[in-house]
Amino acid sequence: MRFNIRDLAVGTFVILFAGVLIFLINRGRGNTLENQITPVATSSPSLEEKVKGAFNVNIPDDIDKVELSDVSGEGQNYFGVTTRSYKNNVFELTILADLPENNKYIAKIAKDDGTEIDLGQMVVAKGGFMINFTKNTDLTDYKKVTVLRDNKILLSGRFL
C-alpha cells in the first residue's frame, strides 16, 4: 500500500478540522474545568448543635451564651460554650469545654479593665470539662471568658 502526498495532506486536514470542531463545541458549552466544579453549600454546625453533639446538653433560650473559640494555635479544634444568667440576685456561669483528658484546666472571667476572677479548676463531666460558678453578686460586667492549661489560653470568648 502506497501513500502519496495528496492523501497525507487530506488526512491531516480532516484530523485538524475534527479537532477544531470538537474544541469549538466544548468551548461553546462552557466545559472548562472551572465550570465543571459545582460548589456545594456547607454549613458549620451551630453552637447548640456542637454542644448537643459533644455533651448531650440543651442550652435554654432565656440565658446568655457565648461560644469559646480555640486560640491555642495547636490545631486541635478545641471548643466550648459558656452560659450565664443573673436572676433573683444570683449570678450563675457554666462552662462546658471539649478538651483532651489527663490535663488540668483553669477557667477565668475578666472585665474590660483587666480585673479577673479565677473560677477554679474544671472537672471532667458530660463528655468534656465543666465548671459551674455561682455568686450572690451581679458579675455580668465580666464579659471575657478564658480556659487555660499551664497558664496558656486555649479557649476564649466574649459576651456582648
**Which residues neighbour 151 within 8 Å (Cβ) at sequence distance 6 or greater?**
none
What are 56-66's pLDDT values in tens digits? 667 777 789 99
CB-CB contact of 106 with 120 (8 Å)? yes
| Contact criterion met (CB below 8 Å) for 105 and 115 | no
Q: Could you tell me the CA-to-CA distances from 104 to 50, 58, 76, 119 in Å, in that order?
A: 22, 25, 17, 13
CB-based contacts of 156: which residues, under 8 Å, 6+ apart?
68, 69, 71, 144, 145, 146, 147
d(C-alpha 92, C-alpha 85), whole Å: 5
| Partners of residue 125 on adjacent β-strands | 128
Q: What is the reported pLDDT for 76?
A: 79
Beta bridge partners of 53: none
Residue 145 has what pLDDT?
96
3-state secondary structure of 139: coil
Which pLDDT score is estimated for 43?
A: 55
Mean pLDDT across 72-85: 87
Alpha carbons 48 and 62: distance in angstroms, whole number: 13
Give Cβ neighbours of residue 136 (< 8 Å, ≥ 6 apart). Answer: 89, 90, 91
Give tens-digit pLDDT for 6-56. 776 777 766 766 666 676 666 655 545 455 555 555 556 665 676 666 666
